[in-house]
Amino acid sequence: MTKPIILTGDRPTGKLHLGHYVGSLKNRVILQNEGKYDMFVFLADQQALTDHAKESEIIKESIGNVALDYLSVGLDPTKSTIFIQSQIPELAELTMYYMNLVSLARLERNPTVKTEIAQKGFGESIPTGFLVYPISQAADITAFKANFVPVGNDQKPMIEQTREIARSFNHTYKCNVLVEPEGIYPENEAAGRLPGLDGNAKMSKSLGNGIFLSDDADTVRKKVMSMYTDPNHIRVEDPGQLEGNMVFHYLDIFGREEDAATIAEMKEHYQRGGLGDVKTKRYLLDILERELAPIRERRLEYAKDMGEVFNMLKKGSKHAQSVAAQTLSEVKAAMGINYF
Ligand code: TRP
């Protein structure tokens, strides 16, 4: 019996943070452990190179870090195939064929690409590889005939474009080789975009406002103690505001059902006055550590043998390549370029 296929991944351009965790990693681990899917998770190093071509050393370092992030949150190589994009040349070859089915105007309209172009300040010098990365992402997804792609909300336009490419390919070559995937997005809209510790709308490495999955306990404590709360809540007895208060925002996201009553009580107390920020932060720290401590422990265990981690990636890549090669041969047959 074949299971539905899941494909997902991240650009290795640094370490993963809590925003990645609640936005998609957590979802993936749940899906993996349901055991109902054949799951592929990969490090999109070629996509990372599209805007880090001259800093390839960052990518090399990040491969190890993100692999550890994956293993430490509970992605399990005995259940999922974990692999590296650049080790599967079939993906680049598929990209080549798909490029002929997508117009330049369509690429320029992709909202995520548009935002990124503005953010990165490419000006007139947008690398061609960057502009076409949604096509390469379509290759990543379709090479595995993925039915589902669990990702953050920012990836919706990529899934949409992948669906268009799959449809266009099947239509153009009168076949049914490619599968149109569906995105799986965070259930909780708020978790889909975790704000930074400083209250900025987005947690990000470059803004320096995040908690990394690899942070040690002391670093996490310091970061939580520095979180943005209510600047007008000066004395403990002052009434405090919940709106824009990152401690309460995080409590809403990371609190579990059994914490709901305590959190509701704290909110009331805070607004009434008499509840200090140090107390709310200590409570949040406990809630976060409940999640982070086991992740940290697993990381330390895996990090003892990086050779084994890379071995796992090698094995995963080998398996992934055999799957992608099968799709590529079907693609070439559909196009009629299987000459011999
Ligand atoms: N675009 C994703 C990111 O920015 C990474 C990625 C590349 C991806 N190819 C993918 C995600 C295929 C899901 C499926 O992190």
Assess if residue 136 is contained within a domain. Answer: yes
Assess if residue 70 is contained within a domain. Answer: yes
Please name the residue whose Cα sits nearest to atom 13 of ligand 1: 8
For the chain, the domain total comes to 2
d(CA 136, CA 92): 7
Ramachandran class of 180: left when φ > 0, alpha when ψ lies in -120 to 50, beta otherwise:
beta
Same domain for 110 and 230 = no
Cross-strand partners of 81: 40
Same domain for 242 and 164 = no
Task: Tell me the pLDDT tens digit for each residue of 72-85.
Answer: 999 999 999 999 99
Same domain for 97 and 69 = yes
Report CA(334)–ligand 1 centroid distance (Å). 26
Assess if residue 206 is contained within a domain. Answer: no
Burial degree of 279 (CB within 10 A; 0-12, 13-18, 19+): middle
Report CA(232)–ligand 1 centroid distance (Å). 41
**Three-state SS for 288?**
helix
Same domain for 237 and 175 = no
Report CA(198)–ligand 1 centroid distance (Å). 27
Report the CATH number at residue 149: 3.40.50.620
Task: Tell me the pLDDT tens digit for each residue of 162-177.
Answer: 999 999 999 999 999 9
Assess if residue 205 is contained within a domain. Answer: no
What's the length of the chain?
Answer: 340
Residues touching ligand 1 (Cβ under 6 Å) are: 7-11, 44, 47, 137, 140-141, 149, 151, 155, 158
- Residue among 5, 6, 7, 11 whose CB has most ligand 1 atoms within 8 A, to mutate: 11
Same domain for 315 and 274 = no
Range of the domain at 285: 217-300
CA Rg value for the chain? 22
Report CA(271)–ligand 1 centroid distance (Å). 41
Report CA(244)–ligand 1 centroid distance (Å). 30
Same domain for 326 and 272 = no
Q: What share of the chain is helix, strand, coil (3-state, %, to 5)?
A: 60, 5, 35
Report CA(9)–ligand 1 centroid distance (Å). 5
Same domain for 266 and 138 = no
Transcribe 204-227 into DSSP letters. -TTTT---BTT--HHHHHHHHHT-
Report CA(230)–ligand 1 centroid distance (Å). 36
- Residue among 51, 140, 180 whose CB has most ligand 1 atoms within 8 A, to mutate: 140
Please name the residue whose Cα sits nearest to atom 9 of ligand 1: 137
- Residue among 112, 155, 163 whose CB has most ligand 1 atoms within 8 A, to mutate: 155
DSSP class of residue 25 equals I
Same domain for 330 and 286 = no
Report CA(260)–ligand 1 centroid distance (Å). 34
Query: For residue 7, which atom of ligand 1 is closest to its CA?
Result: 14
User: Considering the chain, what percentage of its residues have pLDDT values greater than 90?
Assistant: 87
Assess if residue 209 is contained within a domain. Answer: no
This prediction has a pTM of 0.94
d(CA 321, CA 19): 30
Report the CATH number at residue 251: 1.10.240.10
Assess if residue 270 is contained within a domain. Answer: yes
Report CA(126)–ligand 1 centroid distance (Å). 19
Going by their DSSP bridges, the two strands 38-43 and 182-184 should be labelled as unpaired
Task: Tell me the pLDDT tens digit for each residue of 14-26.
Answer: 999 999 999 889 9
pLDDT band of residue 154 (cuts 50, 70, 90) is confident
Same domain for 277 and 133 = no
226-233: long-range contacts at Cβ-Cβ below 8 A with a sequence spacing of 24 or more? Answer: 226/197, 227/197, 227/198, 227/281, 227/284, 228/197, 228/198, 228/199, 229/277, 229/280, 229/281, 233/270, 233/277
d(CA 251, CA 288): 9
Which phi and psi (to 5°) does residue 124 adopt?
-85, 0
Assess if residue 131 is contained within a domain. Answer: yes
Assess if residue 340 is contained within a domain. Answer: no
Same domain for 184 and 93 = yes
Handedness of CA 18, 23, 25, 30 (dihedral sign): positive
Please name the residue whose Cα sits nearest to atom 14 of ligand 1: 8
The pLDDT value given to residue 316: 98
d(CA 127, CA 60): 20
Same domain for 325 and 292 = no
Query: For residue 146, which atom of ligand 1 is closest to its CA?
Result: 14
Task: Tell me the pLDDT tens digit for each residue of 209-253.
Answer: 999 999 999 999 999 999 999 999 999 999 999 999 999 999 999
Same domain for 160 and 289 = no
pLDDT, mean of residues 111-138 = 92
